[in-house]
Amino acid sequence: MRLDTIVKGGTVVTPGGTFVGDVGITGEKITALGAALDTAGAKIVDAAGHYVIPGVLDVHVHLELPFCGTVSADDYRTGTRAGARGGVTTVIDFAIPYAGDSLNDAADNWMKKAEGKSLIDYTFHICITRWNEHKDQIEGMVERGFTTFKEFMIYESEGWQSDDRALYGTLEKMKEYGTMLLVHAESARVLDELIARHHTPELMKKYGARLHPMTRPNFVEAEAIQRAVQWCEATGGKLYIVHMSTGEGADIIRAAQARGVPVVAETCAQYLVLDDSVFEREDGHLFACCPQLKKPKDVERLWEGLQGGEVSVISTDTCTFTREQKAMWEGDWTKIPMGMPGLETLLPLTYTRGVLGGRLSIEEMCMKLSTNPARIMGLAPTKGSIAIGSDADLAIIHPTHTHSIDPASMETNADWSPYEGWELAGFSRTTLSRGEVIVDNYRVVGAEGRGRWLAREPWGNRADRDQETGNGERGTASSKQRAAPVASSPFPAPFGVA
């Protein structure tokens, strides 16, 4: 086998174990793994003294999103450059219909945002914001290669909110099509009530941005997760809880998984390394995000959830706003654009606080950042692991070499960082995307627009699902002709897998 590139002499983390040796690449694929591959004619990327890990999948980002009266400040150019510097080789964004738009329109709009700009590979979760109109468009989106959908239990003012009828109905359809629903779980009516009670000039003067965490107690998330899990259990449709921030959420997911409910959960790096004490800072408003940062005990419980298996994925929920955008709040916490930059620091934070902090092994980290996200989102085996036949998406990181977080030297469009001044190891010295070096010596060298949209297939084939659901001949002709499954199991082993 001709090898174009050999990543040589690194500590290579694979699903089958970690070894010191070489990764051989032909074209865009990994074609050889070994202790000492034949280097004749191959380009050599020296990885001695470094970890070679699978490229990270950040499966929760919002690039160029109109939100909170402004537009998130990282687009596909800056966002994916930032990601590549942090070892991210695939992003999944959320295509959210603008007023009156169909699901197809939403996908088209997001394709236009990414095309010609994205440095790395990408796809989208399709957001269902108006159930009555969108419910009959879901199957068409599956045919088009989108297999993950999203509903928000809040954000009425954005026109995004779904009620229980929509959640229940969508989960039924997820079961039918072999697809998955992602849910932002917060209890809308109670949250509205708590915000209304605190929205007085006196309290805003007294507490300022601290009202953000004060009006989002843990039960706001816990009740909504519990309810979404209930609809998941009733329908058998696959459910993925996004950006879980509470210990209570982790308890609910653990109990549901023990009953065999097809639910998995993601948390985000910020919920693992920050807590709501940041709101005591003078610039605390910068940290406003949704859901809000919680207490140190939640931070601890989420790390435990990663170790125990009830938290399957770490992502970022990147939704960047500059200082100027954040300043729009003018003393009213409900007007702070919610979200933070994250793509560039996901791997460094997880590596530094997780692996160097003694909370995760390097293999467990790769499971949460690459292998599980790829499996759960229907991108395995192409993405997510170092294995023969997989895309040659790799990050090469030094075990101890640190960088100080300084927004001025970063790729993100943010002019601030939640982690400013932190010393973090785990930045990618070299990132390869489909065999091409796109980050070299910690600097982005890849061309914008080289990233590709990734089509996905539902789990199982129609006959498998019909057997499981007893649906007999209900499938459409086109779905019956669909190619064989990417993965044979509905939820390929994310539970309990490290």
Binding region for Zn ion (CB under 5 A): 184, 317
If the CB atoms of residues 42 and 349 are measured against ligand URP, the closer one turns out to be: 349
CA distance 50 to 31: 21
Tokens 């995004």 appear where? 160
In the complex, minimum distance from the CB of residue 317 to ligand URP, in angstroms, rounded to a whole number: 4
In the complex, minimum distance from the CB of residue 289 to ligand URP, in angstroms, rounded to a whole number: 4
CB count in 10 Å sphere of residue 205: 9
User: Which partner in Zn ion, ligand URP, none is near 343 (CB below 5 to 8 A by kind)?
Assistant: none
Is residue 319 close enough to count as binding ligand URP by CB under 6 A?
yes
In the complex, minimum distance from the CB of residue 471 to Zn ion, in angstroms, rounded to a whole number: 32
**Is residue 333 within 8 Å of residue 286, measured between CB atoms?**
no
Is residue 79 close enough to count as binding ligand URP by CB under 6 A?
no
In the complex, minimum distance from the CB of residue 27 to ligand URP, in angstroms, rounded to a whole number: 36
Is residue 289 close enough to count as binding ligand URP by CB under 6 A?
yes
List 184, 238, 456, 462, residue binding ligand URP (CB under 6 A): 184
User: Which partner in Zn ion, ligand URP, none is near 175 (CB below 5 to 8 A by kind)?
Assistant: none
Q: Which residues have C-beta within 8 Å of that of residue 454, sequence separation ≥ 6? A: 90, 121, 122, 123, 379, 382, 383
Is residue 241 close enough to count as binding ligand URP by CB under 6 A?
no
If the CB atoms of residues 94 and 303 are measured against ligand URP, the closer one turns out to be: 94
Q: Which residues have C-beta within 8 Å of that of residue 57, sequence separation ≥ 6? A: 88, 89, 90, 91, 92, 369, 370, 373, 374, 377, 379, 383, 384
Longest dimension (CA), the chain: 74
If the CB atoms of residues 286 and 289 are measured against ligand URP, the closer one turns out to be: 289
- Token representation of residue 432: 């390869």
User: Which partner in ligand URP, Zn ion, none is near 339 (CB below 5 to 8 A by kind)?
Assistant: ligand URP
> Binding-site residue total for ligand URP (CB under 6 A)?
8
Is residue 434 close enough to count as binding ligand URP by CB under 6 A?
no
Is residue 176 close enough to count as binding ligand URP by CB under 6 A?
no
Q: Which residues have C-beta within 8 Å of that of residue 336, sequence separation ≥ 6? A: 68, 209, 212, 285, 288, 326, 328, 329
In the complex, minimum distance from the CB of residue 461 to Zn ion, in angstroms, rounded to a whole number: 31
User: Which partner in ligand URP, Zn ion, none is near 289 (CB below 5 to 8 A by kind)?
Assistant: ligand URP
Is residue 290 close enough to count as binding ligand URP by CB under 6 A?
yes
* Cα-Cα-Cα-Cα dihedral sign, residues 237, 238, 242, 248: positive
Helix 164-177 to helix 462-469 angle (10° resolution) is: 120
If the CB atoms of residues 67 and 351 are measured against Zn ion, the closer one turns out to be: 67
Q: Which residues have C-beta within 8 Å of that of residue 287, sequence separation ≥ 6? A: 209, 274, 278, 279, 281, 293, 340, 418
If the CB atoms of residues 186 and 457 are measured against ligand URP, the closer one turns out to be: 186
Q: Kindly provide the residue ranges of all beta strands, DSSP E only, lying in 269-417, ordered along the sequence.
A: 313-315, 394-397, 402-404
**Residues of span 332-361 touching ligand URP by CB under 6 A:** 338-339
